Amino acid sequence: MRLNGLHLAALVLWWSPFVQAQWTNVSTATPVTPLAFSDVPSAKSLPSDGEKFDIGINSEPPLATPHWLPNGTRVDSTAAIARSEAAHLDYEKAAITAPPVDVGFQALPQGSISPPDTNGAAGPDHLLTMLNDRVRFQLRDGTEISTNSLSAFWAPLVVSSPFDPKTIYDPFSGRFIAVALSNRRSAGSAVLLAVSKTSDPAGGWYLWKFKADPASVNWADYTYVGISDDKITFSTNLFTIASDSFTRVAVFVVDKATVLDGDPITSSRIDTSTISNLAPCTTYDAGIGTQYLVAVGIGNFANEGTLQIYRVTAGALSAVLEQNSSTAESAPWNLNLVAAPQGGTGTLIATNDDRVMNAVYRNGSIWTALTVFLPAGAPTSFPTRTGAKWWEVDPELGETNQSGVIEDPSGDFFYYFPTLSVNASDDVLVGFSGSSFSTFVGAYYAFREGTSPVSEISEATLLKVGEGPFSGPRWGDYSATMVDPIDDESFWTIQEYADAGDRWATWWGRIESATGPPEPPDPPEPPDPDPLAGPLDGPVSWWWLLGAAIPILATGLAVVKRRSM
């Protein structure tokens, strides 16, 4: 393993538990004006591209190498990770405590690009699926409204080959939000933003385009999007056009109120070279203006894995990016990488790396998920399996509240590309892909109740069975999991699985929380009757106490009101 400057920064931050947590100013915002804006009256007016994308498939170029990894070291030897069928059978006997799937159906089948960059969002009446090549609007029962190309969706901005889309639904504004990138590895590299006009994704969108690098030296790769009470925040990694060398992260901060009615908008950007893959949280707590962000620090230093915590404060034009001096710590994972086996073929599935997949701010905590490589071992050791790690941290203290890994200790099953969400009761759902040497790649989930013991979660539960081998090898690059905005208790997740015929496909699933909505409090007991209140229909006697506490008796018909002397 080779340590670079950011590794050393992470090592310094490792000492933070011995220092009181504090926030350090990393960078301040610079106002930015979009290059282009478009008001799309109705997404239904876009021409449907139908199933033409099912003819042939192109592999998306590999991810630009994450800068903190040791040259992308990977173990692809089946001998290094082989496990027996017996181990698989033993694992299948494990107890499953997650609630069952309430409803499930296909989101989109294989299209023209691999990997699909599986992503979507659930609204009160619709589902939005946005992949690397297509956009589909569905009703919540799976009924298709429309399917169009990703290029057609972003075409009003006049961009080339959009990619890496991410979407969320904002329950506070009642809007879908999407981001993407375009013009890969060119001076025209752009960051794209879209906000639906209503809670119906087919009812029209506002679109904006931002230049990725004002100097036209870098291009943007990989996106995240999050929200707070008053902000939409999205980020991307920047790499040199000449050599694909990482340079910095660009964080765009938009005043949410200004996008809801179209242009003009108030926006700014913050650039920092202190970290990569910086994920803004989707904030579900009302009234929280602070935008929290998280990124992996290092997987294993002094037998600890670390998470770095940032925040954006102030308004969009005066935004400040700050870093918590403390890093949240948990069980370590391996700094090297390993691909996943699958049934029916020796082709391995690329599991990418340990970057944060998504992040949520809920009930005062940050929750996040990532793929980890196990066992941790020494820096020179190699992993033999992958797991889906989930993590809850206190953002202000910079401390871990709890964490865990969904894994198969026998090493037979591999889990990867996890995302999570948290409901009002602190229940958690994690969705992810999984496979073994004897099992096709399927879609899975795990669940924990808010009242479950600390760091405990259910075993992996099948969402959609894999139906055949996939020659890939590209998979992912991510997935999406979210709370149902109707009840703030149930969950939706969209995951990739291996379809029959050497193809991938994506699947929506809704899982009802085992906890259910909180029970309403018991009504208060009625007060005891007050003989001195309300109309009285008979003679009444009462005592008045005057200054010297002299009792005086009076009798009569009256409506009596209490008085203080």
The pair of structure tokens assigned to 329 is 């710590």
Could you check whether the bond before residue 115 is cis, i.e. omega within 30 degrees of 0?
Answer: yes
Q: Is 205 left (phi over 0), alpha (psi -120 to 50) or beta?
A: beta
Measured CA distances, 401 to 329, 356, 390 (Å)? 10, 17, 11
The helix or strand, by DSSP H or E, that contains position 256, with its residue range, turns out to be helix 256-259
CB 443 within 8 A of CB 497: yes
Q: How many CB atoms lie within 10 A of CB 375?
A: 16
Predicted pLDDT of residue 333: 97
Phi first, then psi: give them for residue 233, nearest 5 degrees.
Answer: -125, 130
Calpha distance 371→447 (Å, rounded): 17
For residue 301, give the DSSP letter.
Answer: B
> What type of residue sits at position 200?
D
SS3 content of the chain, % helix, strand, coil (to 5): 10, 45, 45
Beta carbons within 8 Å of 308's beta carbon, 6+ residues apart: 10, 13, 275, 294, 295, 296, 297, 323, 324, 327
List all residues 6 or more positions away from 52 whose beta carbon is below 8 Å from its beta carbon.
Answer: none
**DSSP string of 187-223, one letter each residue:** TT-EEEEEEESSS-GGG-EEEEEEES-TTSSEEEEEE
State the pLDDT at residue 41.
Answer: 84
Position 246 scores a pLDDT of: 97
C-alpha of 468 from chain center: 28
d(CA 6, CA 208): 32
Do residues 129 and 138 touch, judged by C-beta distance below 8 A? yes
Structure tokens at 140: 């919540």
pLDDT at 475: 96
Tens-level pLDDT at each residue, the chain (565 residues): 333 444 434 444 444 444 467 899 999 999 999 998 898 886 443 433 332 222 234 555 555 543 333 333 333 333 333 333 333 333 333 444 899 999 999 999 999 999 999 999 999 999 999 999 999 999 999 999 999 999 999 999 999 999 999 999 999 999 999 999 999 999 999 999 999 999 999 999 999 999 999 999 999 999 999 999 999 999 999 999 999 999 999 999 999 999 999 989 999 999 999 999 999 999 999 999 999 999 999 999 889 999 999 999 999 999 999 999 999 999 999 999 999 999 999 999 999 999 999 999 999 999 999 999 999 987 788 999 999 999 999 999 999 999 999 999 999 999 999 999 999 999 999 999 999 999 999 999 999 999 999 999 999 999 999 999 999 879 999 999 999 999 999 999 999 999 999 999 999 999 998 666 555 556 666 655 544 444 444 443 333 333 333 333 333 333 322 333 3
The pLDDT assigned to 126 comes to 98
Alpha-carbon torsion, ordered 30, 286, 100, 493, to 10 deg? -20
d(CA 134, CA 221): 19
Tell me the residue ranges of DSSP E strands in 80-217: 101-109, 113-114, 120-122, 126-130, 134-139, 144-149, 163-170, 175-182, 190-196, 205-211
DSSP SS3 for 265: coil
Q: Which residues share a beta bridge with 339?
A: none
Q: Is 251 in a helix, a strand, or coil?
A: strand
Q: CA 165, CA 155: separation in Å to the nearest integer? A: 14
